[in-house]
Amino acid sequence: MQNIPLNWYLILSAVLFMIGAAGVVTRRNAIIIFMSIELMLNAVNVTLVAFSSFLGNVNGQMLVFFVMTVAAAESAVGLAIVISLFRNKQTVNVNEINILKW
Amino acid sequence: MAVEQIVFVVLALFAVATALLTITRRNPVSAAMWLVGHFATLGGLYLTLNAQFIAVIQVLVYAGAIMVLVLFVIMLLNITKEEKSKNKLSTKNVFGIGAVAVLGLEICAIIWSGTKDSPQTISVQSANIGTVEFIGHQLFTQYSFPFEAISFVLLAAIVGAVMLAKKNVD
């Protein structure tokens, strides 16, 4: 495992982050937007683990552990919001959810 | 190319392909299944970085727990396929993808210019720091306060999820 350059991991992470961001801005299904956010979180985790291994420092992997915990909490709350939205509006299409729009 | 590099390229291509499939499927269940494959692939990538513990909890927590929760909600709500949009190249999509492309180019430019003096090989200690033993030791000594604090985050998330999802009984 000695000869994979650090840049490969960083470029892969940037590409995955871009894909996630593109999903957030183009999709209209709230659950798929939620999954794109998970994609972006994971892209950043790849960067953190790569730096942690290349520098021989455990802090990056600890941060990934806490990011995963926060992502689990976020998914529980986010999906609860989707459920209560669906109960009130019978849709998860974000174009039709505009009750907070000015 | 060395065998490690071939393993990395295969895993990276698979990760990018499953990510693209996730954001392009119109059926939310297929998108979620591709996302499960994506998370499992990232677990393999963490193994190439000697991060065994992170690889295991990636598969357990992400591909297991979180995606089961997502699939559970999709099936609970009985969501139909997203209808085809009338114009694929709407102004919103063009501007959105353009902004994302600019962001990605900026990130890549920063990476190319900024990692000249960073280490070029995985450090030898990385085989030790990725183990469950080492991470568990750090978690309960140096990181015991964040560890306790994150449990409050989880408690708040449980209470918040119950409050948001329950029926209003006035």
Query: Model's pTM, two decimal places?
Result: 0.89
Task: State whether residue A54 sits within 8 Å of chain B by CB.
Answer: yes
State how far the alpha carbon of B20 is from the alpha carbons of A20, A35, A43, in Å.
Answer: 9, 12, 13
Let me know if B9 is exposed, middle or buried by CB neighbors in 10 A (0-12, 13-18, 19+).
Answer: middle
State how far the alpha carbon of B12 is from the alpha carbons of A18, A43, A56, B62, B138, in Å.
Answer: 14, 12, 23, 18, 30
HSE of B18, CA atoms in CB hemisphere, 13 A: 18
Residue B170 scores a pLDDT above 60: no
As a whole number, the mean pLDDT across chain A is 88
> Among partner residues A15, A54, A82, which is closest to B73 by beta-carbon distance?
A82
Give the number of beta-carbon pairs within 8 Å between A and B: 233
Q: Cβ–Cβ of A65/B57 closer than 8 Å?
A: yes
Q: How many residues does chain B have?
A: 170
| pLDDT tens digits, B60-99 | 999 899 999 999 999 888 777 666 666 667 787 888 888 8
Tokens matching residue B79: 């969501």
Tokens matching residue A45: 């985790």
pLDDT of residue B53: 92
Inter-residue contact B48 to A50 (CB < 8 Å): no
Output the CA angle A57-A74-A99, nearest 5 degrees.
145
Task: State whether residue B161 sits within 8 Å of chain A by CB.
Answer: yes
Task: State whether residue A100 sits within 8 Å of chain B by CB.
Answer: no
Residue A12 scores a pLDDT above 70: yes
> Among partner residues A4, A52, A79, which is closest to B48 by beta-carbon distance?
A4
Contacts of B54 in chain A (CB under 8 A): 45, 49, 61, 64-65
Q: How confident is the model at residue A2 (pLDDT cuts 50, 70, 90)?
A: low
> Among partner residues B4, B103, B160, which is closest to A3 by beta-carbon distance?
B4
| pLDDT tens digits, B29-56 | 999 999 999 999 999 999 998 899 999 9
Which residue of A42, A46, A96 is the best one to mutate when testing the B interface, meaning the one whose CB has the most B CBs within 10 A?
A42
Q: How confident is the model at residue B110 (pLDDT cuts 50, 70, 90)?
A: confident
Please compute the mean of the pLDDT values over residues A32-60 and round it to a whole number.
92
Tokens matching residue B113: 């210019």
pLDDT of residue B91: 80
The dihedral sign for the CA sequence B78, B80, B81, B83: negative
Cα separation, A8 vs B27, whole angstroms: 32
Residue A42 scores a pLDDT above 70: yes
Kind plus residue range of the DSSP H or E element containing A1:
none
Provide ipTM, 2 decimals: 0.91
pLDDT of residue B164: 86
| pLDDT tens digits, B111-164 | 777 766 677 777 777 778 888 999 999 999 999 999 999 999 999 999 999 988
CA-only gyration radius of chain A, Å: 17
